[in-house]
Amino acid sequence: ETGVTQTPRHLVMGMTNKKSLKCEQHLGHNAMYWYKQSAKKPLELMFVYNFKEQTENNSVPSRFSPECPNSSHLFLHLHTLQPEDSALYLCASSQEGMDTEAFFGQGTRLTVV
Amino acid sequence: GENVEQHPSTLSVQEGDSAVIKCTYSDSASNYFPWYKQELGKRPQLIIDIRSNVGEKKDQRIAVTLNKTAKHFSLHITETQPEDSAVYFCAASNPYNQGGKLIFGQGTELSVKP
């Protein structure tokens, strides 16, 4: 384990469902990120949180709603998703202001049916 | 904002040969350039990184070079082995701006044939 844990590992949901992805980091980092990884596509940055404040939203549709209650936890709330939202969702954390690597969670494989 | 281009998208080499992956970036303020390896079904993991005050860095069979003037950096893997087969991502960031968010290249799928 790298210190970043994501749950669930796999999720299948219908287009009318509401679900949440959870990310937890035990590294004492102050920045957390959500990335989307689709087949044959690069890692797409979705949201950035620094010190619990959202500092970036990369034109992500409103059916994705992030939440960062504290510097150790990050959620991604999902509702009325589309089949094209099926992808691997990766959480990462790092320490702002330092040249240190970003650590990734194992990801949640999401399938929208 | 930052944009990172990575080439090639796929690379196939014979075991023992060298592999080179190249990336270019657009934001001259970027000063941290990591490389991640992602094996099938696993998370991306850092394999080597380089900072803007260094032109080259080596770690056993892996080396990275950086040309800040041209805004490009490269990953070199020598004496490739089958276990090097994976998808490799380059990234660029400025750790002192916006939390050091990483902007990734498109990825290179490396296949090392025995």
> Which chain B residue lies closest to A108 (C-alpha atoms)?
B43
The strand order across the sheet containing B72-77 reads: B4-7, B19-25, B72-77, B62-67, B56-59
| Cβ B15 vs Cβ B110: under 8 Å | no
The answer to whether the Cα torsion of A7, A9, A13, A15 is positive or negative is positive
Q: Tens of pLDDT along A58-103?
A: 789 999 999 999 989 999 999 999 999 999 999 999 887 666 688 9
Rounded Cα distance, A39 and A57, in Å: 22
Which of B43, B46, B105 lies nearest to residue A101, judging by beta carbons? B46
What percent of the residues of chain A are helix, what percent strand, and what percent coil, each to the nearest 5? 5, 60, 40
The confidence score (pLDDT) of residue A97 equals 65
Q: Tens of pLDDT along A8-34?
A: 999 999 998 999 999 999 999 888 999
> Which chain B residue lies closest to A42 (C-alpha atoms)?
B106
The confidence score (pLDDT) of residue B97 equals 65
Report the first-to-last Cα separation within chain B, whole angstroms: 41
Rounded Cα distance, B46 and B104, in Å: 13
For residues B82-89, average pLDDT = 96
Say whether pLDDT at B99 is over 70: no
Report which of A31, A54, A39, A48 is spatially closest to residue A86, judged by C-alpha positions: A39
The confidence score (pLDDT) of residue A98 equals 63
The confidence score (pLDDT) of residue A39 equals 82
The confidence score (pLDDT) of residue A2 equals 56
The confidence score (pLDDT) of residue A50 equals 81
The residue ranking higher by pLDDT, A29 or B6, is: B6
* Residue numbers in A near B30 (CB within 8 A): none
Which of A90, A96, A105 lies nearest to residue B100, judging by beta carbons? A96
What distance in Å separates residue A80's CA from the closest CA in chain B? 26
The residue ranking higher by pLDDT, B18 or B101, is: B18
For residues B16-27, average pLDDT = 97
Structure tokens at A20: 């949440």
Of the pLDDT bands very low, low, confident and very high (cuts 50, 70, 90), residue B96 is low
Say whether pLDDT at B98 is over 80: no
For residues B12-17, average pLDDT = 98
| Cβ A5 vs Cβ A24: under 8 Å | yes
The confidence score (pLDDT) of residue A80 equals 94
